[in-house]
Each structure stands twice: as C-alpha cells, then as structure tokens.
C-alpha cells in the first residue's frame, strides 16, 4: 500500500515573543489522501496559515518553532529535516499557492525565468528545455496567449493571470501535495470561479492531495471533500463537507454557517452572529477558547479544554456540550 500523501500528527508550533509564548498551532492532526481536498477553515488568527507554513517548514525561527508532532509527507517525517533537505522537498513533493499572487512573484524577473527556475532546480532540465516546459505549464493553467506571456513581467499581468503563474510554479514538478492558502481571496468573483475550476481540474489530472485554506464558506462548499474547522490554534471540528453544512456540531461551526448569507433566504432574516471576537493568542481564556463567545458554554468549559471526540462515525468534535449529548 502506498503511503498517505500528507499525514500531520499532533503538530505544535509555538511563537516565542517578548510578550510570551503563544501556542499558534496546538496539537493539530489531519491527513489528506490522494485526490482529496481538505479545507482548513477559520477566522483570522485561528492558526490556519501558520499550520500551512509549519507543514511547509517555512516559519522563521525565531520566533516560531515546531515544538512537537510530526508531518509525514508520503510516509517520511519532515519535521527533523534540515533546510537543505527541505529545499529539495519544497516545490518538488509539496507545492504552495499564496493569497497575494503579486507578492509571491519576483517583480523584476520574467514569468518564464521564474517558472524555469523551479523546473531546473528539481528536474535537471537545461535552460532550453525548461523554457519549453514553462510554456507547456502556462498552457496547462489556461494562461491566455501563453507563448507571448513568457517574456512578460508580473506587473504586466492581471491578478488572475499572476495567480495562474503561481499555480504553474506550484505544480511544475508534479507534487503529490498542494497547499493553497486563500488562493482566490484577492480575486474578483468571476476570476475566482475560473481559478477554483482550474485547481480542481489540475488536482483531478494529477491526483494531488490538496489542503485548501479559506475563511469563505462558499468556497469551502464548492471545493472541499472534508473540512477541518480551527479556532485559536486548535481543531474544533472535522467532518465530510455535506455533513458539516447539514448539521454542524461545534457551536463555533454552527455560528460560522449561520453568519454566512445563503441565496434564497427570506428578506429580513437576521444573520446569526457570534458575539465578541476571536481572542488574541497571548490572552486565551483557560478551558475552551470559544467558551466566552459560546451560547452553550457550561461551567466545565471555562475550566477544562475539551479534547476531540467521535460523536458519530467519521466526525470529530471538541465540545463538552456535544459530547454530553452523544453520551
């Protein structure tokens, strides 16, 4: 049996700052199978991007350090690896797409050179072949007029086209895992639809495992197979996408879904809002981090952190109220 493309176990990343230690990622476990898309959802500051950067080993130390857990990429734990070994793995076995395509590209290097650089670093192809491969990749990501864009600079392209270039670079070496961090947040809605369709097509063609980080539940519903909901650095719920939207178990998930307008709702319906806001990582309440905002919070929630339980087969939730119901 081949190994699962990505398996994260009990990952802990701590930020060591002057204001104290902050547990940015606090015991995250998840696995992504070949051809599967797992959405990592939550509001700003919940640790979703830091989780992705930890998996890629891209966080600067100091202040960030992985203090525990493992990240198995095709069976190999990459947490103990040194930077040199990581350079070989990033871009080759695991690719990443960032939110802001303009700043992910070098403004003074042509598109062709930026893609060719990735290709040459990992494949041993020469300059000439790498150029041909860059052209082929641009065609593959649906760049209009691909041949002519090779010699363009990023500022000559629109945001959507730049994101296509970033995607071309991310898939250049056919990685088995792709991490997309808010890849369409900066794009207009019609271009977002194009890029989402492109990512789905590329994933299906290559059978990539994909982690899709987003705060937009609409995008989650359109792309994900499974969803991991994070709050204050911890996973609070995990479920198949249909189950999650049909019956969110964690009060935070239910709040997020209630707060998102859906088409066809009656005019005048109030959105369900979650009172308060996401707590700062250096001022987390004891017990469940969501308790101060939670309508179902009990005495126990303020004292003790709930751990993940399995209320129904195939689902995970970290909530005393839900666990109490199931028991």
Partner 1 sequence: MSALLVLDDVHVRFNTAAGQVQAVNGVSLDLAVGETLGLVGESGCGKSTLGKAILRLVPTSAGEIRIDGADIAPLDGAALTELRRKVQMIFQDPYGSLNPRSTVGRSVAQPLVLAGWKRDAIAERVDMLLSWVGLPPEARQRYPHEFSGGQRQRIGIARALALNPKLIICDEPVSALDVSVRAQVINLLEDLKAKVGMSYLFISHDLSVVEHIADRVAVMYLGTIVEIGSRDRIWREPQHPYTRALLAAAPIANPKLARARRRTILQGELPSPLDPPTGCPFHSRCPMAQARCKVEPPSLRAIGVGTQAACHFI
CB of 207 to partner 1, least distance (A): 21
- The label of the residue with tokens 């930026």 reads 114
Residue 156 engages partner 1 in binding (rule: CB under 8 A): no
Q: Which position among 17, 158, 282, 307 is part of the footprint of partner 1 (CB under 8 A)?
A: 158
Residues pairing with 229 in the sheet:
41, 237
Residue 314 engages partner 1 in binding (rule: CB under 8 A): no
The 109-148 contact track toward partner 1, x by CB under 8 A, reads -----------------------------------x----
CB of 253 to partner 1, least distance (A): 11
- In the chain the beta strands, taken as DSSP E runs, fall at 6-17, 20-32, 37-41, 64-73, 76-77, 94-97, 177-181, 209-214, 226-231, 234-240, 316-317
Residues between 247 and 286 that touch partner 1 (CB under 8 A): 255-265, 267, 269-275, 277-278
CA distance 38 to 191: 22
177 vs 196 by CB, closer to partner 1:
196
Residue 230 engages partner 1 in binding (rule: CB under 8 A): no
Which structure tokens are listed for 8?
């994260």
Which structure tokens are listed for 223?
């792309």
Q: Which position among 241, 254, 289, 301 is part of the footprint of partner 1 (CB under 8 A)?
A: 241
Q: Going edge to edge, which strands form the sheet with 177-181?
A: 94-97, 177-181, 209-214, 37-41, 226-231, 234-240, 316-317
Binding footprint of partner 1 on the chain (CB under 8 A) = 43-44, 144, 158, 160-161, 188-194, 196-197, 215-222, 224, 241-242, 245, 255-265, 267, 269-275, 277-278
């Amino acid at each position: 049996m081949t190994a699962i493309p990505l398996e994260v176990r009990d990952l802990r990343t701590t930020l060591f700052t002057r204001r104290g230690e902050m547990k940015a990622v606090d015991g995250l476990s998840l696995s992504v199978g070949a051809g599967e898309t797992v959405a990592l959802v939550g509001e700003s500051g919940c640790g979703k991007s830091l989780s992705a950067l930890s998996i890629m080993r891209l966080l600067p130390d100091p202040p960030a350090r992985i203090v525990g857990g493992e990240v198995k990429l095709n069976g190999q734990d990459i947490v103990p690896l040194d930077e040199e070994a990581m350079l070989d793995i990033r871009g080759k076995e695991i690719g990443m797409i960032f939110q802001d395509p303009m700043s992910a590209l070098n403004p003074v290097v042509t598109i062709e050179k930026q893609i060719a650089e990735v290709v040459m670093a990992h494949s041993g192809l020469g300059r000439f072949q790498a150029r041909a491969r860059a052209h082929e990749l641009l065609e593959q990501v649906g760049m209009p007029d691909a041949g002519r864009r090779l010699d363009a600079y990023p500022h000559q392209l629109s945001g959507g086209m730049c994101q296509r270039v970033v995607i071309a670079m991310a898939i250049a070496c056919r990685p088995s895992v792709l991490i997309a961090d808010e890849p369409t947040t900066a794009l207009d809605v019609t271009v977002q639809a194009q890029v989402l369709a492109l990512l789905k097509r590329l994933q299906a063609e290559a059978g990539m495992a994909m982690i899709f980080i987003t705060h937009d539940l609409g995008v989650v519903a359109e792309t994900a197979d499974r969803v991991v909901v994070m709050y204050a650095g911890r996973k609070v719920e995990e479920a198949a996408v249909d189950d999650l939207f049909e019956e969110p178990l964690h009060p935070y998930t239910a709040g997020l879904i209630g707060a998102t307008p859906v088409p066809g709702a009656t005019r005048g319906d109030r959105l369900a809002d979650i009172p308060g806001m996401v707590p700062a990582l250096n001022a987390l309440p004891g017990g469940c981090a969501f308790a101060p905002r939670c309508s179902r919070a009990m005495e126990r929630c303020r004292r003790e952190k709930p751990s993940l339980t399995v209320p129904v087969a195939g689902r995970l939730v970290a909530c005393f109220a839900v666990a109490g119901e199931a028991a």
